[in-house]
Amino acid sequence: MSLIRQLWLLLAAVLALAIVGAVSVNLLSTRAVLQTQLAVKNNDSAQALALVLSQQRGEEELMRLVVAAQADTGFYRSIRFTRSDGRPGIEQQGPAVPLRAPQWFVALLPIDSPPGIAQVSDGWRSLGQVAVVSQDTYAYDELWRGGVRAAWVMLGVGLVAALLSLVVVRRIRAPLEATVRQAQALEQGRYVIVDEPAMPDLRRVASAMNGMVVRMKTLFEAQAAHAEALRRQAHCDALTGLSHRAHFLGQLGALQQREDGVVGGGLVLVRLADVTGLNRAVGRETTDHILQTVAQVLSTYPERVAGCLAGRLNGADFALALPTPGLAAETASAIALALRSSLPSFSTGVRAYVGAVEWARDAAPGVLMAQADLALAQAEAGKPYSAEVLDGTPGDSSVGEGERAWRVQLLSAIEDKAARLRLVDFPVVDRQLQQLHLESPLRVQLQPGGAFEPAARWLPLAMRNRLTALFDAEAVALALGAIEVDGAPRAVNIAPASVVDSGFVAHLRQWLEDRPRLAGSLWLEVPEAAAADHFEAVQAFGRAVRPLGVRFGLEHAGERLHRIDRLFELGLDYVKLDAAVCTGVAASAAGQEFLRSTVALLHALSVSVQVEGVADDADVRTLWECGVDAVTGPWASQR
């Protein structure tokens, strides 16, 4: 039983006892007064009647008339004259008076009316004695009316007291409920500060809770900053802040392999010639500034283009991966121009070259790097700051059909969804090799009878044509249908454009409310980039679906996770770390330290940690040692 309910019961019991006690005291004291008044009245009446009877000098008829007249007034229950010589006396009963008080009340509070007795004489001769008993019906009626009035008055007082108690309890309840919500939010990994109430006792509680929340938030932020520092140490070049070679290649491989990756793009290499000679000519500090300038030129692209990757491959070589086909030549020329305008200011001996190549989704990273290096070698054969681009693998022929043709294909696939849309299932397993859920990306048959294409092929065009909400709705429908058939939980990827679409979110919520049994087995996940760029929308999306039993999480996480402000307010159930931050972790002590810190940070928020794209046995063992809860990828699919 809640504290507030106990308080209400206590107040009700106190008020009831107070009312009953007050009415009881009133009744008992009134009864005592009435009994005293009856006794005095009986004695006074007996004395007065005895005096009148004594004046009749023993005349029988006159005495009977006096007794009868007194009894007929109706105020006496009985009048009895007893003769002293033993002869029959005179007895007269008063008329019956109707009783208004209930019988149970009369039985509960009996009123004693003792007879008043007085001597009757004729001079010195004793004639007898008279006994007078007043009518007690009036006393019972008055006692009943007084009790009823007292009860109504006390009930009114009790009602006023109850209203005042309601105000007081509400004043107490509001800060208590705020504290409970604060504690619940803290349990969910959210840090909420409540207003401190005016009541000293509750103010101390609220102040203590707020202090604890602030300390925990500070601790979380410090831990997040530490994890971000470890990430930079494990994955970034210390001088430029760009990804180092291993991490850059891991990011590029993950971008190529993901279902929702890219269909193709460009790779640009930048080489700063004769870094050793620059060190001798201008000094180490100036050379570092030159390298940082090259990094700044390249880092502007990831800041402006989602999915763009920048890295430093070695002391003199830099790389930029573009997530969109057809931009390699333009980007290489722009980079060369930017370097030509900035680097000579350090020294006339600074020389840089740019090489680029277009790549297709199925291009092996090693072959791709070799082609880009060949383009860079051709650039080095020319003048400084020249750019060379090699022809890459041709893209899909349908690209030439234009955006209108793509839109027709996508809408046609939606109309024929039963035959041209399907989910593929990849298991997510925990350390006991138990299947946690199935990761179920949507694949689309763009041409009737053709292959079912991954999201990398159709998602960019769906985003451009604002069709992601339609495809995400169909993916959820297919997942719920599959769950109903086999009962296996399934995770569906939701595009950022759908998350910010209020119409899609409202439709999805209504749909899930109509299927509560299936919603409990549905997992919905959005990319880390969506949480970083559209925090409020992602937070609102989570708040819309989680109360329905849906698990909500982030995918492709790790690069920007620790830089998401108020990560603890997203209300996440799980996070899937990107393959790029975990591949090769068995051989990287810095990578392991970063992973342990990230897992500890997320577990402190009651968030489960999973890893995508795991393929190596040694990496899996290391992931379990670092506290990861589940993995997916080729290794999990082979179990």
Give 78-113 pLDDT, tens digit per residue: 888 888 877 778 888 877 778 888 888 888 888 888
Say how far apart CA 463 and CA 256 lie, in whole Å: 19
- Distance linking the first and last C-alpha atoms of the chain: 49
Q: Let me know: does 466 contact 497? Beta carbons within 8 Å.
A: yes
pLDDT, tens only, 467-498: 999 999 999 999 999 999 999 999 999 999 99
pLDDT, tens only, 206-264: 788 788 778 777 777 787 788 888 888 888 998 999 999 988 988 888 888 888 777 78
Mean pLDDT score, 500-522 = 92
Three-state SS for 264? Answer: strand
For β-strands 116-122 and 125-134, DSSP reports them as antiparallel
Q: If pLDDT is split at 50, 70 and 90, which confidence band does 394 have?
A: very low
pLDDT, tens only, 137-169: 888 888 888 888 888 988 888 888 888 888 877
Say how far apart CA 274 and CA 238 lie, in whole Å: 20
Q: If pLDDT is split at 50, 70 and 90, which confidence band does 397 have?
A: very low
Q: Is 99 left (phi over 0), alpha (psi -120 to 50) or beta?
A: beta
Closest to 325 (Cα-Cα) out of 365, 261, 265: 265
* Residue 347: pLDDT over 90: no
Q: If pLDDT is split at 50, 70 and 90, which confidence band does 403 have?
A: low
Q: What is the pLDDT of residue 100?
A: 86
Task: Tell how far CA 165 is from the center of its chain.
Answer: 31
| Tokens encoding 282 | 């201008």
pLDDT, tens only, 303-325: 888 789 999 998 889 999 998 88
Three-state SS for 486? Answer: helix
Say how far apart CA 377 and CA 373 lie, in whole Å: 6
Mean pLDDT score, 609-621 = 93
Q: Let me know: does 265 contact 321? Beta carbons within 8 Å.
A: yes
Contacts of 497 (CB under 8 A, 6+ apart): 463, 466, 468, 469
Q: Is 58 left (phi over 0), alpha (psi -120 to 50) or beta?
A: left
Instruction: Measure the CA angle with vertex 550, ends 545 and 551; round to 5°.
Output: 110
**pTM for this predicted structure:** 0.69
pLDDT, tens only, 585-609: 999 898 999 999 999 989 988 899 9
CA atoms within 13 A on the CB side of 552: 19
- What is the residue-averaged pLDDT of the chain? 86
- 72 or 462: which carries more pLDDT confidence? 462
Q: What is the pLDDT of residue 361?
A: 77
Please name each of the domains of the chain with its CATH number.
Answer: 3-159 (3.30.450), 242-397 (3.30.70.270), 402-637 (3.20.20.450)
Q: What is the pLDDT of residue 465?
A: 84
* Residue 396: pLDDT over 50: no
Q: Is 304 left (phi over 0), alpha (psi -120 to 50) or beta?
A: alpha
Bridge partners of 389, per DSSP, are 356
Angle of the 468-486 helix axis to the 502-513 helix axis, nearest 10: 20
Q: What is the pLDDT of residue 2?
A: 65
Closest to 594 (Cα-Cα) out of 229, 236, 222: 229
* Residue 398: pLDDT over 50: no
Q: What is the pLDDT of residue 286?
A: 92
Bridge partners of 472, per DSSP, are none
Q: Which stretch of DSSP H or E encloses residue 410?
A: helix 403-415
* DSSP state letters, 509-547: HHHHHT-HHHHTTEEEEEEHHHHHH-HHHHHHHHHHHGG
Say how far apart CA 479 and CA 489 lie, in whole Å: 9
Q: What is the pLDDT of residue 189?
A: 61
Three-state SS for 98? Answer: coil
Q: What is the pLDDT of residue 288?
A: 92
